[in-house]
Amino acid sequence: MSTTIDFYWDLGSTNSYFAIKLIKPIAKQYGTSICWHPFNVGYFFKANDYAVMKESKAKLRNRRDDLMRWAKKYDFPFHIPRAFPIKTSRALRGAIAMRQWGLEEQFIEAIFSAYWEDGDGNIGDYSSLGPIAQSLGVNAVDFEACAESEKVRQALIDSTNKAIERDVFGVPSIIIEDQLYWGKDRMDFVKEHLSQLSNP
């Protein structure tokens, strides 16, 4: 099956953390590839005058409890970091930069682990991103220079705007053909869609 899964993500999204872990074995099961699309959700929220931390305390408590239920259900080493929310644009550009070395997916996995498992509150800065790139075999100075280049900066803008044109309004969003599935809890629908493509 040649169909590609378009996956839209942002490092600051708790649900992206879970969805990345859940989508990968599904893609492997159906023999399809994942195309990773960084989406600057902070920019999108600001443009739509929305702030997560301004939600009611009851909703925020429930959100936290629900995340921990998901972590327990799948035995993921998830923890909510003390530094939340954070600016993620450097991390998003870093993922785009790592395409140059064919290490985009590995970089994405590493930064999500550093933030949502190890609680690295500096993950939005090159002080943390550089060593991660270095651990993957990319010189930290070269990595930062690439991530800060005008080409990569524009690539993030384009990635976000093109996502909005496809009606992406939050992350994680998964698009297969013309169908958009939003959230970590849509994997049954994703599997059903891929199954139908495998057995038309």
Contact 20, 70 (CB under 8 A): no
Mind listing the pLDDT tens digit for each residue in 132-160? Answer: 999 999 999 999 999 999 999 999 999 99
Model confidence band, residue 63 (pLDDT cutoffs 50, 70, 90):
confident
> Which CATH number goes with the domain that contains 103?
3.40.30.10
In this model, does residue 42 exceed pLDDT 80? no
How many Å apart are CA 157 and CA 130, to the nearest integer? 22
Q: How far apart are the first and last CA of the chain?
A: 11
pLDDT at 47: 57
User: To 10 degrees, the CA torsion angle through 133, 135, 139, 142?
Assistant: 0
Domain range for 62 is: 4-198
pLDDT at 45: 60
Give the number of domains in the chain. Answer: 1
Q: What pLDDT score was predicted for residue 3? A: 82
> What average pLDDT score do residues 74-79 get?
97
Closest CA to 152 of 186, 199, 197, 107: 107
pTM of the model: 0.93
Query: pLDDT: is 171 or 47 the higher one?
Result: 171
